[in-house]
Amino acid sequence: MLGSQPRRALTLSSAVAVMLAAAPAAALGNTTTTTETATSGTVSAAFSFQGSFPDYRHQTLQITRSGQVVYSQPVTARLCGEECDPASVVPRHLAIHVVDLEHNGQPDVVLDLFSGGAHCCTIEQVFSFDRDTGSYLRTQRDFGDPGAQLVDLRHNRRFEFLTADDSFAYRFTDFADSGLPIEIFTFADRRFTNVTRRYPKLIAKDAAAYLSDFKHDLANGDGLIAAWAADEDNLGHTALVASTLAAKLKAGDLRSPDYASGQKFIAALNRFLRHEGYVH
């Protein structure tokens, strides 16, 4: 991602084990066209754009199957309209991927886009093959400020979107001190599905890191303990969350300037965790 980051926010990376290549094209007057390509099996995708950060234009996506073009359209997305930036701002990390997300033998095309701005927003677009039309249908999700990494968490060639819960940004403190609890999504049947609770070890690791950060920065820690509480609730440790928050309140460690007291902070946090589905 671009701009300042909350505590331990994710950065975009390409972790897909497919054949990737980036090919800058010839200059067109004062304009250079860059094409990023990715291939898996008989499916290839080419993402082309002109300009450079922060002024990108003329973004297009072309998908071929067995050498035949079956999709060729300008790139548009929610939030950024027709002026989406490629999110491949890290050298050698491309914005285009071809990978079998649904594990059905039909590779999907994944495109990473950025809307621009200091704290927004990363959009993941997935193009799925539609047998009825012989072309590709687009599904997209806004992953907000933390972005998403396309990774094979279980090393079984089933790919997930590793991200963090952007709803915690600014919720209990300023952006820089906000903690964003881990989230993991899969994609199938043109839907993104939250599967975070299937990865308890990763949740526990995230929780431990936030608790450690909180202990070392009590003055700015309420956003961190909030992320810890969300992680622990995802693990089913509701009683642990309640007892720990009570102990921190008694010790005077809950110091949010946005709440008149630590008790009011806890009440607001509990309401938020219920609203967001961390506590059932």
Report how far residue 274's alpha carbon sits from residue 17's, in angstroms, rounded to the nearest whole number.
Answer: 38
Using an 8 Å Cβ cutoff, are 22 and 30 in contact?
Answer: no
* pLDDT tens digits, one per residue of 229-270: 999 999 999 999 999 999 999 999 998 777 878 999 999 999
- Identify the three-state secondary structure at position 121: coil
* pLDDT tens digits, one per residue of 16-58: 223 233 334 333 344 788 899 999 999 999 999 887 776 778 8
CB < 8 Å & 24+ apart, contacts of 241-246: 245/269
R_g of the chain, CA atoms, integer Å: 21
Please give the model's pTM, rounded to 2 decimal places: 0.86
Q: What is the pLDDT of residue 251?
A: 94
Q: What is the pLDDT of residue 30?
A: 41
